[in-house]
């Protein structure tokens, strides 16, 4: 019987998995995951993502075992390991999901070359990790969309392929060696409140959220304390949920909440197609404003206070502490903290993006870097100089202060609106908030510095 290898990368699921479906047709299948030395060497591994990944691999293995198979795990260079497994099992083809980053493109190229030199074939499947593949849509005048609204119009008109079920049976050839599956235990630096990974957890969340959450999404997605977003981002990052399936399922639910949610999924594809066309945007300004960002000791101290959640602006500090505790942050928090770092403190977006990638369980090169650029005004935002005022935003998106009280215990006894402006407290009341710091910078001074730096005054 012919043998196929399915190389899993950031598509760690059995449902709606075109490579597995294609490989599994009347064949033996080697479901392979390679712990990629290249990713580790590039410093892109972070404890929270390693822990979530370990959950995902264990769950994938369990799902395969239920179907008569198992997961094969190897470590090293992906190309070498796939070729080794192909030789061992005499596999004549390899299936994998398309990926868009510059690193993944190089890896795919090397793999195709190495396999073909050995008389084997590589099949790369689109729309496994994106709903609409990068490059599938482009305006007449460019290789990618630089503005979201026209992109979304085209994106909405694409007829998506149907979602697929999980295979009923997977037959793995005998005797294929595997390393032990990684586990969370023994990993240090994992956030205490990190979510559980794996397809089972992702699908359970999908079912409950589509039933109880998505309907109110449009009205509540910015409610910091309400925590009313899907929290699918780590599942989308590791591919334990399929974007194609999510779009279909949300459209079946229908209504304004589902539409608003689908629009967010389109933002994810939008950033992927920008980065696929402009890989340098992961590190360089997409549209430079010629910033000469602050650096030096004072800026470094400001960055430390920002990281520790001790800027003296409660909503900024709450969000930064949520990030550290959960390895995840609410989108409104991400916007606020990124605006605060890049605009109010006038610190390089790369400093913030790097710190987010150290902690975020959904830390994603396209979404993280391009959202940071968006907020820094060096990306695709059509209003690049907008500055979010953390006090006004806190009063709007955390009106009774519950989010701040949850994450900043020093302020747990304060009511809104004072909880958002503790510097207004006097005497004994001020003493009651313990060592919660005074504001790092006056907002009007920060704004003036930013405007001057950008030549806007």
Q: What residues make contact with ligand FAD under the rule CB under 6 A?
A: 221, 229-233, 236-237, 264-265, 267-268, 271, 331, 334-335, 338, 356, 360, 362-364, 367-368, 371-372, 375
Residue 264 Cβ vs ligand FAD, minimum distance, rounded to whole Å: 3
- Taking the complex as a whole, the smallest distance from the CB of residue 381 to ligand FAD amounts, in Å, to 11
Q: Provide, rounded to whole angstroms, the least separation between the CB of residue 146 and ligand FAD.
A: 15
Task: Name residue, tokens 């012919």.
Answer: 2
Whole-number Å distance between alpha carbons of 241 and 58: 16
- Cβ proximity to ligand FAD, 334 vs 405, nearer residue: 334
* Min CB(326)–ligand FAD separation in Å: 11
Q: How far is the CB of 137 from ligand FAD (least distance, A)?
A: 16
Question: Closer CB to ligand FAD, residue 33 or residue 209?
Answer: 209
Rounded Cα distance, 259 and 215, in Å: 9
Compute the distance between CA of residue 33 and CA of residue 238 in angstroms, rounded to an integer.
12
Min dist. Cβ of residue 395 to ligand FAD (A):
20
Residue 81 or 364 with smaller CB distance to ligand FAD? 364
How far apart are alpha carbons 126 and 391 in whole angstroms? 44
What lies within 8 Å, CB to CB, of 267 at 6+ separation is 148
DSSP string computed for 18-76: HHHHHHTTTSEEEEEEEEEHHHHHTT---HHHHHHHHHHHHHHHHHHHHTT---EEEEE
Q: Report the alpha-carbon distance of residue 228 to residue 290 in Å, rounded.
A: 38
Q: Where are the alpha helices (DSSP H) in 190-296?
A: 199-212, 217-220, 233-238, 243-253, 256-277
Do the bridges between strand 121-125 and strand 93-97 make them parallel or antiparallel, or are there none, so unpaired? parallel
CA distance 242 to 317: 33
Cα of 194 vs its chain's centroid, Å: 14
Question: In whole angstroms, what is the distance from residue 85 CA to residue 366 CA?
Answer: 31
What string of DSSP letters covers 195-214?
PP-SHHHHHHHHHHHHHHTG
* 33 vs 356, beta carbon nearer ligand FAD: 356
For residues 29 and 69, what is the distance between their CA atoms, to the nearest angstrom? Answer: 8
Euclidean distance between CA atoms 358 and 327, whole angstroms = 9
Token duo for residue 301: 């101290």
Spatial separation of the C-alpha atoms in residues 264 and 278, rounded to whole Å = 21
Distance CA 173, CA 28 (A): 6
Closest contact distance (angstroms) between CB of 27 and ligand FAD is 33
Nearer of residues 267 and 293 to ligand FAD, judged by Cβ: 267
Q: Which residue lies nearer to ligand FAD by CB, 322 or 371? A: 371
Shortest distance (Å) from residue 362 CB to ligand FAD: 4
Q: How far is the CB of 372 from ligand FAD (least distance, A)?
A: 5
Count of CA atoms in the C-beta half-sphere (13 A) of 12:
31
Q: Which is nearer to ligand FAD, 70 or 268 (CB)?
A: 268
Nearer to ligand FAD, 282 or 360 (CB): 360
Residue number with CB closer to ligand FAD (24 or 48):
48
| DSSP 8-state symbol, 398 | S
Least distance in angstroms from the C-beta of 233 to ligand FAD = 3
Nearer to ligand FAD, 178 or 331 (CB): 331
Q: What angle do CA 365, 36, 45 make, to 5 degrees?
A: 45
């Amino acid at each position: 019987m012919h043998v196929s290898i399915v190389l899993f990368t950031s598509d760690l699921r059995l449902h709606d998995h075109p490579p597995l479906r294609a490989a599994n047709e009347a064949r033996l299948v080697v479901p392979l995951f390679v712990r990629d030395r290249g990713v580790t060497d590039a410093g892109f591994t972070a404890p929270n993502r390693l822990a979530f990944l370990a959950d995902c691999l264990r769950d994938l293995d369990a799902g395969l075992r239920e179907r008569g198979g198992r997961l094969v795990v190897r470590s090293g260079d992906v190309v070498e390991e796939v070729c080794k497994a192909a030789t061992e099992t005499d596999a004549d083809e390899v299936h994998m999901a398309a990926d868009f980053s510059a690193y993944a493109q190089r890896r795919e190229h090397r793999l195709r070359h190495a396999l073909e030199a050995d008389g084997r074939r590589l099949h790369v499947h689109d729309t496994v990790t994106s709903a609409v593949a990068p490059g599938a849509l482009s305006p007449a005048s460019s290789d990618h969309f630089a503005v979201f609204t026209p992109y979304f119009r085209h994106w909405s008109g694409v007829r998506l392929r149907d979602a697929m079920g999980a295979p009923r049976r997977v037959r793995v050839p005998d005797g294929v060696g595997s390393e032990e599956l990684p586990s969370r235990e023994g990993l240090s630096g994992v956030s205490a409140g990190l979510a559980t990974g794996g397809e089972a957890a992702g699908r359970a969340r999908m079912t409950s959220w589509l039933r109880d959450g998505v309907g109110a999404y449009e009205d509540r997605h910015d409610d910091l304390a309400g925590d009313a977003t899907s929290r699918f981002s780590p599942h989308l990052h590791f591919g334990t949920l399929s974007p194609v399936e999510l779009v279909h399922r949300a459209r079946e639910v229908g209504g304004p909440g589902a539409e608003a949610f689908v629009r967010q999924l389109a933002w994810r594809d939008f950033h992927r197609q920008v980065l696929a066309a402009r890989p340098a945007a992961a590190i360089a300004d997409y549209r430079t404003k010629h910033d000469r960002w602050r650096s030096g000791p004072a800026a470094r101290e400001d960055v430390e206070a920002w990281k520790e959640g001790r800027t003296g602006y409660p909503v900024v500090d709450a969000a930064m502490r949520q990030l550290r505790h959960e390895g995840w942050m609410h989108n409104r928090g991400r916007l606020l903290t990124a605006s605060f770092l890049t605009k109010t403190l006038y610190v390089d977006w790369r400093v913030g993006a790097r710190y987010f990638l150290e902690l975020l369980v959904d830390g994603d090169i396209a979404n993280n870097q391009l959202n940071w650029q968006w907020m820094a005004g060096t990306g695709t935002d059509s209003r690049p100089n907008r500055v979010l005022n953390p006090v006004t935003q806190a009063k709007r998106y955390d009106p009774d202060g519950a989010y701040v009280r949850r994450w900043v215990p020093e302020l747990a006894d304060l009511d809104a609106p004072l909880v958002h402006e503790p510097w207004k407290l006097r005497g004994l009341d001020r003493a009651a908030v313990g060592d919660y710091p005074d504001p790092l910078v006056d907002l009007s001074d920060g704004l003036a510095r930013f405007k001057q730096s950008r030549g806007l005054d």
